[in-house]
Amino acid sequence: MTYYRKALQALVVAIVLSLAVPAAIQAADYAPQATNVADTTPLNQNLLQNPSFEQAGAGGLIPGWAVSGDVHIQAFGAQKWPSPSYAKKWSGGQLYLMCRKTSGSVSQTVNFSGTGNGTSPLLARLAANYGGVVGAQIRVSILITGGPGLGSYKEKLKTLTITHHYLKDVATLAIPQWATQITATVELLPAVGDNRCRMVADSVDLWVLQS
């Protein structure tokens, strides 16, 4: 009886390990570690790594960002729009993020600490320069974690009402006292009924500001 019990325990352990180890490896490969910032997060500066998507990794990876869905890096000039003149006008560099056929997103988490001036809350402000074809959409969102429950969340969804112009999508969220991490996410979505996703995000800023 003891032998069978031990054998059963060993089998259960083996099954658990076989399930858990690949998932852990995949998660480590997939999601970048949170960016370390100073003990007190600096104000009024961009906290993101690779904020303008100027670094493109192999195999569809984007350094600094966790990639989900149908997004990739592309160079100005690779297609008719956006033209390199947009990059010059908006300090967009050489590369940008875009979606292919369906939606996709990139996320980046930064560590946070700080109390601000003690009289008004600190704010997290996420902004993305974007453009594309009428009807395509972009969603920027901020998730602040470290406290109770799922944290504090704010998003801003924009639908393009004009083709081939650069615009800015901005979300702002007060930072609770318990905050330890801020996650910035940019999602690109096709127009309803469109079989191509024609939306571009060229650069993203995540700032902490004193309100």
Binding footprint of Ca ion on the chain (CB under 5 A) = 52-53, 92-93, 96, 202
Distance, in Å, from the CA atom of 29 to the CA atom of 49, rounded to the nearest integer, reads 17
**Nearest-approach distance from CB 128 to Ca ion, in angstroms:** 11
How many angstroms separate the Cα of 135 from the Cα of each of 164, 200, 201?
Answer: 12, 13, 15
Question: Which residue in the block uniquely carries the two structure tokens 């990794």?
Answer: 57
Q: Pick between residue 92 and residue 131 the one whose CB is nearest to Ca ion.
A: 92
Q: Pick between residue 92 and residue 104 the one whose CB is nearest to Ca ion.
A: 92
**Nearest-approach distance from CB 200 to Ca ion, in angstroms:** 9
Q: Pick between residue 37 and residue 56 the one whose CB is nearest to Ca ion.
A: 56
| Tokens at 90, concatenated | 């908006």
**Nearest-approach distance from CB 53 to Ca ion, in angstroms:** 5
Q: Pick between residue 183 and residue 203 the one whose CB is nearest to Ca ion.
A: 203
**Nearest-approach distance from CB 147 to Ca ion, in angstroms:** 34
140 Cβ contact partners less than 8 Å away, ≥ 6 residues apart: 126, 127, 128, 155, 156, 169, 170, 171, 184, 185, 186, 187, 204
